[in-house]
Structure 1
């Protein structure tokens, strides 16, 4: 059973962190954490996939502007495991997003559109959210 949470009036700025805790479902195909100004304007689309047709288990990052996707960044080192409890920390540094994974791996993705404020957060997919913290 996939879930979806949307926050539409958040206010994250450079230096802020979003801490997401939850359980990846046992039969998970994928989930996503989106940061931006709305569903059609995403500064970061963080999308772990557990059975991607091209690469198997892969971490995909992308951005979306006016409803159009940019070029995907794919990382074939996906330490996330189906059925596991995870804590993912998303850090906003201004010109970059840093995603810290449970094994200490860090995925970096550029803030392509230079968003100053992130007002939209969406967490969706094969994931059971247990905690969300902005600090």
Structure 2
């Protein structure tokens, strides 16, 4: 499953809410926020079987020249076959990701984005609902 939305206007203070259901055979899924597919301010990717850390959430950023350094989070509240709710609030200097267990991960806005105009979701889950306010 993959979805790309262009011409989004997510401003500082806006929150993206996602509801989904993880597939029974999930390996990973991804949520990207940025200004284009090659200019990603937040790459959020839960990995169920990472070769280094097992179950881990990887956050990163990407510009046309390539990926930056990964931030790895070991608090992993996703389970195969389960429904989940999560949200991402764009705070200007950071993205605040509220996980299904109510823990919050903060990831810096390394690209100094003023607005998010591109959102993509993909991977081993079924998107149930998606909204931004």
Question: Do they superpose with TM above 0.5?
Answer: yes
Contact 1:32 1:124 in 2 (8 A): yes
Contact 1:6 1:123 in 2 (8 A): yes
- Aligned ranges 1:1-135 → 2 under 5 Å: 3-135=1-133
Q: Larger % of strand: which?
A: 2
Deviation at 1:9? 1.0
**Shift >4 Å, 4+ stretches:** none
1:8 alignment partner, SS class: strand
Structure 2 unaligned regions, length at least 5: none
- When the two chains are superposed, the root-mean-square deviation of aligned CA atoms in Å is 0.6
Deviation at 1:45? 0.1
Aligned positions, number: 133
Q: Matches of 1:65 and 1:90 in 2, distance apart?
A: 20
1:94 alignment partner, SS class: coil
